[in-house]
Amino acid sequence: MPPSSTASACARPTSTTILQEAQKHWLCLVATDGAFSMDGDIVPPQICHLASRYGALVFVDECHATGFLGLTVQGTDELLGVMGQVTIISSTLGKALRGASGGYTTGPGPLPYLFSNSLPPAVGCASKALDLLMESNTIVQSMAAKTQWFFPVTWEAQVGGYSEP
Ligand SMILES: Cc1ncc(COP(=O)(O)O)c(C=O)c1O
């Protein structure tokens, strides 16, 4: 390794120095994958202890872990015995659960979903249609009224307009 690379490798800050430096900010967030895709490495559980020492929140991206890790497959935090110490968990369902669509972000309040693996628009439409139907029966009543009006009119038009060849 050339001397310059060795020097810059030595100068790399440790996670402790980064967290110390971050203390001047109003929010500290330690963000990590739960399981890393290339070698299947799992994040060390000490990350939660380190974060809490510096008042930092922990964010775990579970894209490569969802549906696989933990005794009851609740994820990396369950596997590592740190459930309740992770503030934000985010995942897509198209990686570990190969081919599934959508994803989620969980946290102490509403949070944006971060990734591009969104639900197909048709699923969103179906979900909204069901919401509207559950909210009130106005649409159903309106459709029934239109059917009552429309059916005799079209029937009349068909019968009236029909002529034997
Ligand atoms: C760990 C991890 N999180 C999130 C993403 C982004 O997922 P998407 O492609 O659904 O935006 C990737 C993409 O490779 C990833 O490896």
Query: Torsion over CA of 64, 67, 81 and 104, rounded to 10 degrees?
Result: 70
140 and 99 part of one domain: no
Angle formed by the axes of helices 138-161 and 121-135, nearest 10°: 100
Residue 126: the pLDDT is 92
Together in a domain, 128 and 53: no
For residue 104, the CA-to-ligand 1 centroid distance in Å is 12
Looking at the fold, whether 106 and 132 belong to one and the same domain comes out as no
- pLDDT for res 121: 86
Other Cβ atoms less than 10 A from the Cβ of 28: the count is 17
Whose structure tokens read 């946290």? 107
Which among 5, 24, 25, 37 is annotated as catalytic? 37
Q: Are residues 82 and 162 in the same domain?
A: no
For a ligand 1 pocket test, name from 60, 91, 92, 116 the mutation site with the most ligand atoms within 8 angstroms of its C-beta: 92
Q: Is 37 a catalytic residue?
A: yes
Site to probe by mutation for ligand 1, drawn from 42, 63, 97 as the one with most ligand atoms within 8 Å of Cβ, is 63
pTM over 0.75, yes/no = no
Catalytic residue flag (residue 95)? yes
**Same domain, yes or no, for 88 and 135?**
no
H or E stretch including 104? strand 103-106
pLDDT at residue number 9: 54
Which residues approach ligand 1 with their CB closer than 6 A? 33, 37, 61, 63-64, 92, 94, 115-117
- Are 21 and 78 contained in the same domain? yes
Indicate the number of domains in the chain: 2
Q: Are residues 104 and 128 both part of a single domain?
A: no
For the chain, 165 residues long, give each residue's pLDDT as a single digit of tens. 444 445 555 677 888 999 999 999 999 999 999 999 999 999 999 999 999 999 999 999 999 998 889 999 899 999 999 999 999 999 998 888 877 888 899 999 988 887 888 888 888 899 899 999 999 999 889 989 998 888 887 777 776 654 555
User: Are 79 and 147 part of one and the same domain?
Assistant: no
**How far, in Å, is the centroid of ligand 1 from the Cα of 117?**
8
> Which domain range does residue 105 map to?
3-119
Do 101 and 129 reside in the same domain of the chain? no
The residue to which tokens 């009119």 are assigned: 153
Residues 54 and 100 in one domain: yes
User: Which residues are CB-neighbours of 36 under 8 A, at least 6 positions away?
Assistant: 42, 43, 64
CATH code at position 45: 3.40.640.10
Please give the number of the atom of ligand 1 that sits closest to the Cα of 103: 10
| Claim to verify: residue 88 and residue 126 sit in the same structural domain | no
Based on the fold, state whether residues 33 and 54 are members of the same structural domain: yes
